[in-house]
Amino acid sequence: MAAFALTDEQRSYLRQVREIAAAELVPLAEQGVEGSVNRPLLAAMGSHGLLSRLFGGTGRSAAAMELCLLREALAEVCTDAETALALQALGSYPFLLFGTEGQAARYRDPVAAGTVVASFALSEDEAGSDAAALRLRAEPDGDGWRLTGEKTWISNAPEADVYTVFARTTPDARARGITAFVVAGDSAGLTGEHLDMLAPHALGRLVFDGVRVGPADVVGEVDAGFKVAMRTLDVLRPSVGAFAVGMAQAALDAALSHTTRRQAFGGPLSDQQAVSHLLAEMATRVEASRLLVYAAAAAHDAGAPPAQLTRQAAMAKLFATESAQYVVDTAMQLHGARALQRGHLLERLYRDVRAPRIYEGASEVQRTIIGRSLVQRATQTRQEGSG
C-alpha cells in the first residue's frame, strides 16, 4: 500500500465526501424515482463541488487517481450518487478529451453544476461487446449528416440533455468508419423510452429519425470516433474498478460488523473457522482490487504508453468487478435471510454489483484485451531480441 499511500489532504477530502453522502445524498437518493434521472441529487452534488472534481485544472478530465478515489468513497455510502457522478463523466469526457474548446466550454460548467445531464451513446442491440459493429447511420446531408437508427442500454436515456453519439459515417468499415457527435437531447427526430433493469438506474433506448448534426457537432475527426470511445473507456475503466472496490468494502464492513456481533454456536459467528476464512478471503480480494485500480490510475496519470494503459485498465476492471461480486455474495451468505429483505444494504448492493461486470466492456472482453496485449508484447520482445 505504501506505493499508493494517500496524502493527509486526500484522506480529509474523502472523509468529507463520505459525510456529505451520508447526510445529504442518501436521503435525496431515497426520494428519487427508480429508473429515472435524479436531478435534485445531481444538483446537490454540483453544489458541493463533487461534479466539478471530474474536471482537472485544464478544464478537461480529472486525474484518473482522483476520479477513482472519489468513486470509491461515494460507492461505500451511496451507490446512486456514485453512479450519477460516473455517468456525468462518461457522457462528457469524449468532448472534453477530444472535442473543440467551444464544445467543452458549452457543456463543462452546466455538467459540473448538475444542471445538464450527459450521456454516452455507443451500445446498440446488436453492437454491445462488439462496438465496432454499430449500425446507427450518419448519412450525408449538405455540410452535415442525418442520424438514423437506434441505440440501447444507454445510461441517462431518454432524459439526458446532451449525448455523445457514435454513428457510422463509412459503411462496412468497422472501427475505421465511426464518428462521434454531440447531440442535444431535445433535437428534432430524437425520441426514446426507459428500460426496466435489475438495478433501477436510468437506462434507456433511443430512436434517431433523421436527427440533423453539423460539422460543429463532430467530436474529434470524422471516421475516428472509435478512438474517442476507446480512449474514454480507458480513462474510466479503472474507476469502474474503484466503484466495485467501494461496494465490496461496504459489504466487507457489513459482514465484519454482523459476524462479530451475531451469537451462534456459543460465541460470535466470526469465531467459526469457516467464517473467519471467508472474511480473510473477502478482505484479501478487496485489497488486491484496490491496488490494481490504483496502479492503473497511477499509470494513466504518469503518461504510460497506450498499450500498457489499456492492459492495466482491463486488469483493474476485470479483477475488481469479479471480486466485488464474490464479496457481496459472500456477505449476503454470512448475513442469512435478513440480507434478502428489500431495503437491506446488501440487497441493494447485490443488485448494483452485477452490472459492472457487463458495462464498459464485459469481463470476457477484458480477458480478450489482456490476452491480446500480452501476446503482442511477447511477440514484440521476441522480434526485438532476434533483430
For domain 226-386, which CATH number applies: 1.20.140.10, 2.40.50.100, 3.30.410.40, 3.20.20.10? 1.20.140.10
Domain with CATH 1.10.540.10 in the chain: 2-116
Residue range 373-382: average pLDDT? Answer: 91
pLDDT in tens, 141-164: 999 999 999 999 999 999 999 999
pLDDT of residue 7: 85
CATH code of domain 119-223: 2.40.110.10
As annotated, the residues of the chain forming the CATH 1.20.140.10 domain(s) are 226-386
> What superfamily does domain 2-116 belong to in CATH?
Acyl-CoA dehydrogenase/oxidase, N-terminal domain (1.10.540.10)
Task: Average the pLDDT over 338-345 and give the result.
Answer: 94
Q: At what angle do helices 64-77 and 273-301 cross, to 10 degrees?
A: 150
- Can you tell me the distance from the alpha carbon of 56 to that of 320, in angstroms, rounded to the nearest whole number? 25
Kindly indicate the confidence band of residue 1, based on its pLDDT and cuts at 50, 70 and 90.
Answer: very low
Q: What is the mean pLDDT of residues 49-56?
A: 88
Residue 20's pLDDT is 97
Cα 41 from Cα 163, distance rounded (Å): 20
Q: What is the mean pLDDT of the chain?
A: 92
Does residue 2 register a pLDDT over 50?
A: no
Confidence grade of residue 130 (pLDDT, cut at 50, 70, 90): confident
Distance CA 89, CA 164 (A): 11
Number of residues in the chain: 387
The answer to whether residue 360 is catalytic is yes
Query: pTM of this prediction?
Result: 0.90
The stretch 302-322 carries a mean pLDDT of 93
Q: Where in the chain is the domain with CATH 2.40.110.10?
A: 119-223
Residue 161: what residue type? D
Confidence of residue 271 (pLDDT cuts 50, 70, 90): very high
Instruction: Give the active site residue among 9, 360, 364, 384.
Output: 360
Arithmetic mean of pLDDT, 131-145: 94
pLDDT surpassing 60 at residue 59: no
Strand 162-168 relative to strand 118-121, pairing: parallel
Average pLDDT over residues 198-216: 93
- In this prediction, residue 49 carries a pLDDT of 94
